[in-house]
Structure 1
Amino acid sequence: MLWSPSAPAFLGRGPVRPRGSDPAHFPHETLVDPWVDDEGWMPPAVAAREIGKGFGGGRGRATVLKGVSLEIRRGEVVFLVGPSGSGKSTLLSLIGGIMTPDQGSLTVLGQDTSRLDPARRADFRRDHLGFIFQTFHLMPTLSALDNVRLALAMRGISRRESTARATALLGSVGLSHRAGLRPGRLSTGECQRVAVARALAGDPELVLADEPTASLDAENGQAIMHLLTDLVRTRGATLLIVTHDNRIFPFADRILRLEGGRVVGSDGPGGGDPPEEVAGVMAAPDGRRRRREWGP
């Protein structure tokens, strides 16, 4: 079963799309551009310029990222692909403010996170970002409801309001009837849906997902991606996914390829021609892109 949820009004900024985006991806009547300032400038969600990152010291130092430059626009769904060891997870950690680059400049939602001290970076992550992990990282002793509610409690939201929001979110991912169960009694697909609800609990402007479908079978992987992209687009948020799973490529607006610590290609609107392996993201007659719907 696949879901096409509508976000509760208090959880999002309403049906929006950013300037310059493909209207086909935002089929709402209300077109709001909430990120443009009075002078008409809209900062990108992510802007990286020649960033580098290494680990270790001396002869044993390993340079993982070697001058990465990229830009992700507000409202985009972008996939980051590449072989193991190419630096994908490191780049995601830098964008998420978990680490800082050794060189270059990186701004996230207009903020240079490398200039923030650890406490302020943690506040920035809490207030503006959502994270989804391959292995879920749910608290095993808490129910599905409490796992989602915990993310809201950390923002200082009252128990009553956090319970209402968490209940609404679990309903939006089709888990109202499982809200009282702990992760050990949930299926793999249900655990990932709880993780999606938790990531979206704070209404983040940027959602970062590391291999969100790697632990799922094809059916659950498709369901999670339909769910995640629907919820993110409803909120007008930006989604960046690190993945090896070519089954979900059709959900991307753009695919960035990382090899040897560098971005070596960008496929999708504004990013060149699609590679053969990106099956399902095809050129429409008017030159725009269209998606292939998942089949049974």
Structure 2
Amino acid sequence: MNEELTLTILGGVDKDGVPEPVSSLDICKGEIIGIVGPTGSGKSTLIDDIEQLAQGDTPTGRSVLINGERPDAVIRVDPRKKLVAQLSQKMHFLADMTVRDFLQMHARSRGKGPELVDRVIELANTLTGEPISADNYLTVLSGGQSRSLMTADIAVISDSPVVLIDEIENAGIKKQEALQLLSGEGKIVVVVTHDPVLALMASRRIVIRNGGMVDIITTSTGEQDVCGRIAKVDNWLMSLRETIRKGEVVEELA
């Protein structure tokens, strides 16, 4: 299923019970989709519907299809067959085990070998400014390290073909690289964001207003150019943050 997976969202109603203008949306493997709208507009409700593989049984009345068909009930409730992984802006581990032990355990549970552990850690370290070691205990990882590790874990070890991300711009990781990593592994990436770089990195973005999907905007060539220019500024700001965090002097701005 994962090789040719297509996710379809069938529209429901907005907060006033009015049918959504967007009645259907197909999302394909490797695609990044943005969800944009004002605070409180219903962006997180949409990803909740996707996470639950809603079948008209949520307040919005939306339905989610897999390859054009309604998913089996077991897919919705069995964590071993879960198609959707979610990465939130707030994430901390509670398990008192090392990074290596955690990744080896996850790989075994997926029927995969321990050789993936080093690759996950290597990728995670491309997303965070704070190096992660295999011998680090999960409970001492910072929020940024935790999210970097889970992003790499989802990309490499997890079988879930759909990844939902809620405001990763506040997650303390290299956000552009994170999205590129996940989509490059063939994941469908749906990201809730207020960040112009992430919104314009998406091939399309869903506009949410009053709880409803009111428009689908396809990212134009002009917007892609804008994205490239503001991404350079964003990367510069990230580099500046790291310089200040390390206690160094930013003389070039004086």
State the TM-score, normalized to the length of structure 1: 0.62
Specify the code of the residue in structure 1 equivalent to 2:232.
W
Specify the code of the residue in structure 1 equivalent to 2:225.
M
Q: Which residue of 2 aligns with 1:240?
A: 190
Say if 2:225 is the partner of 1:282.
Answer: yes
Which residue of 151, 155, 159 maps to 1:196? 151
Q: Higher helix fraction: Structure 1 or Structure 2?
A: 2
What is the Cα deviation at residue 168 of structure 1?
Answer: 1.8
Q: Which residue of 1 aligns with 2:34?
A: 79
What is the Cα deviation at residue 46 of structure 1?
Answer: 2.1
Say if 2:94 is the partner of 1:94.
Answer: no
Identity of aligned residues (%): 22
Residues in 2 aligned to 1:206 and 1:225: alpha-carbon distance in whole angstroms: 18
SS in 2 for 1:89: helix
Q: Which residue of 1 aligns with 2:12?
A: 51
Residues in 1 aligned to 2:224 and 2:107: alpha-carbon distance in whole angstroms: 36
Specify the code of the residue in structure 2 equivalent to 1:145.
R
Task: Return 5+ residue gaps in structure 2 as ranges.
Answer: 237-254
Moved over 6 A (4+): 62-65
Alignment of 1:1-296 (within 5 A): 35=4, 45-52=6-13, 67=20, 69=23, 70-97=25-52, 100-102=55-57, 103-113=61-71, 116-117=72-73, 119-123=74-78, 126-155=81-110, 157=111, 161=113, 163-174=114-125, 177-200=132-155, 201-216=157-172, 220=173, 223-226=174-177, 228-269=178-219, 281-282=224-225, 291-292=228-229, 293-295=231-233, 296=236
Query: Would you say how many aligned residue pairs link Structure 1 and Structure 2?
Result: 222
Q: Which residue of 1 aligns with 2:252?
A: none
Task: Return 5+ residue gaps in structure 1 as ranges.
Answer: 1-12, 14-33, 36-42, 54-61, 284-289
Q: Would the aligned equivalents of 1:64 and 1:261 in 2 still touch at CA under 8 Å?
A: no
Shift of the 280–235 alpha-carbon distance from structure 1 to 2, 3 Å rule, reads same
Shift of the 80–171 alpha-carbon distance from structure 1 to 2, 3 Å rule, reads same
Q: Which residue of 1 aligns with 2:251?
A: none
Shift of the 124–109 alpha-carbon distance from structure 1 to 2, 3 Å rule, reads farther
Residues in 2 aligned to 1:233 and 1:95: alpha-carbon distance in whole angstroms: 17
What is the Cα deviation at residue 49 of structure 1?
Answer: 2.1
Shift of the 225–237 alpha-carbon distance from structure 1 to 2, 3 Å rule, reads same
Specify the code of the residue in structure 2 equivalent to 1:281.
Q
Q: Would the aligned equivalents of 2:75 and 2:83 in 1 still touch at CA under 8 Å?
A: no
Q: Would the aligned equivalents of 1:193 and 1:224 in 2 still touch at CA under 8 Å?
A: no
What is the Cα deviation at residue 73 of structure 1?
Answer: 2.9
What is the Cα deviation at residue 92 of structure 1?
Answer: 0.9
Residues in 2 aligned to 1:100 and 1:76: alpha-carbon distance in whole angstroms: 23
> After the TM superposition, which of the residue ranges 256-265 and 186-195 deviates more from structure 2?
186-195
What is the Cα deviation at residue 193 of structure 1?
Answer: 0.5
SS in 2 for 1:178: coil
Deviations 1:181-218 (A, max 9, x none): 124433332221012023222243222112223232xx
Shift of the 101–192 alpha-carbon distance from structure 1 to 2, 3 Å rule, reads same
SS in 2 for 1:169: helix
Residues in 2 aligned to 1:185 and 1:64: alpha-carbon distance in whole angstroms: 46
Shift of the 74–101 alpha-carbon distance from structure 1 to 2, 3 Å rule, reads same
SS in 2 for 1:181: coil
Q: Would the aligned equivalents of 1:65 and 1:261 in 2 still touch at CA under 8 Å?
A: no
Residues in 1 aligned to 2:89 and 2:201: alpha-carbon distance in whole angstroms: 18
What is the Cα deviation at residue 141 of structure 1?
Answer: 2.0
State the TM-score, normalized to the length of structure 2: 0.70
